[in-house]
Amino acid sequence: MIPIFPVPPPAAFVREIVVACADFDPTRVRDGLNLAVDALTLGACVDDVLFPALREIGLLWQHGHLDLEAERLSSEAVRGWLEALALQAPEPTDAAPVILACGPADRHSIGLEALGVLLRRQRRRCRFLGSRTSVQTLTTAIEANPPSGVVIVSHLEANRVGATQALRAAAAMGPAVFYAGHGFASVQVRRNVPGTYLDMTLQAACALILGSSNRQPTD
């Protein structure tokens, strides 16, 4: 009889990653994430391990319990891990990309990078425009290669106006638009924002974007 070993809960992986970060050990951070993928699947690792760990690391830094360099190390380790996963993704089957961008004043992009990995794993082409994407850069990218969808992220209320302008410009050009981030957390501020708010796990957001792109009309 083959023995069945219990799978560690997500909290155990979160703890390991936080401790590895506090110990300035990026290799252990990446190894912990890989172990979580093996045990839980990539999507569950992202939603139930990666982001809870990053939130805990951020709180520890804010309260002075973690060195700033340790917080930066964790971000760089996670980015390297996501880049490696993106390179391992299968070739996309669609021509039109999903454009992923931060609002014009927003810098935090790890969530978008993780979403891009999940989409690429589903053989979707992605174009990552990154932090502080201006409206002009966004519209130029849409004109150059019309996308099946556009995702804009804004994490701070102070940056919401610029992100909303980017969403309106993108929506006026035709593709399905989506947005996320704490800058749009209030239901009231979302009333005049075009598109779909991704107030959900990254796995659910990925499924929603994929479903929308599948419904896009073709020539």
The full 3-state SS of the chain, as one line of letters, equals CCCCCCCCCHHHHHHHHHHHHHCCCHHHHHHHHHHHHHHHCHHHHHHHHHHHHHHHHHHHHHCCCCCHHHHHHHHHHHHHHHHHHHHHCCCCCCCCCEEEEECCCCCCCHHHHHHHHHHHHCCCCEEEEECCCCHHHHHHHHHHCCCCEEEEECCCHHHHHHHHHHHHHHHHCCCEEEEECHHHCCCHHHCCCCCEECCCCHHHHHHHHHHHHHHCCCC
48, 108, 217 from 159: Cα distances, Å = 27, 12, 33
Pair 210, 103 in one domain: yes
Does pLDDT of 198 surpass 80? yes
Report the pLDDT averaged over residues 36-59: 96
Per-residue pLDDT of 155-164, as tens digits, reads 999 999 999 9
Q: Which of 38, 69, 88 is the last residue of a domain?
A: 88
Could you give the percent of the chain with pLDDT greater than 70? 94
Pair 141, 75 in one domain: no
Report yes or no on 1 lying in a domain: no
Which of 214, 29, 33, 56 has the alpha carbon at shortest distance from 124?
214
Per-residue pLDDT of 82-122, as tens digits, reads 999 999 999 998 889 999 999 999 999 999 999 999 999 99
Which of 91, 38, 82, 63 has the alpha carbon at shortest distance from 202?
82
- Predicted pLDDT at 217: 42
Neighbouring C-alpha atoms within 13 Å toward the C-beta of 217: 2
Question: Is 185:198 a contact under the CB 8 Å cutoff?
Answer: no
Pair 33, 125 in one domain: no
Domain range spanning residue 64? 10-88
Structural domains counted in the chain = 2
Pair 103, 154 in one domain: yes
Confidence tier at 5 by pLDDT (50, 70, 90): low
Instruction: Specify the CATH number for the domain of residue 37.
Output: 1.10.1240.10
Report the pLDDT averaged over residues 43-64: 94
Pair 109, 198 in one domain: yes
- Predicted pLDDT at 205: 97
Report the pLDDT averaged over residues 171-188: 95
pTM above 0.75, yes or no: yes
- Predicted pLDDT at 212: 84
Report the pLDDT averaged over residues 171-180: 96
Pair 106, 59 in one domain: no
Report the pLDDT averaged over residues 74-85: 95
Confidence tier at 199 by pLDDT (50, 70, 90): very high
- Number of Cβ within 10 Å of residue 214's Cβ equals 9
Report the pLDDT averaged over residues 70-81: 92
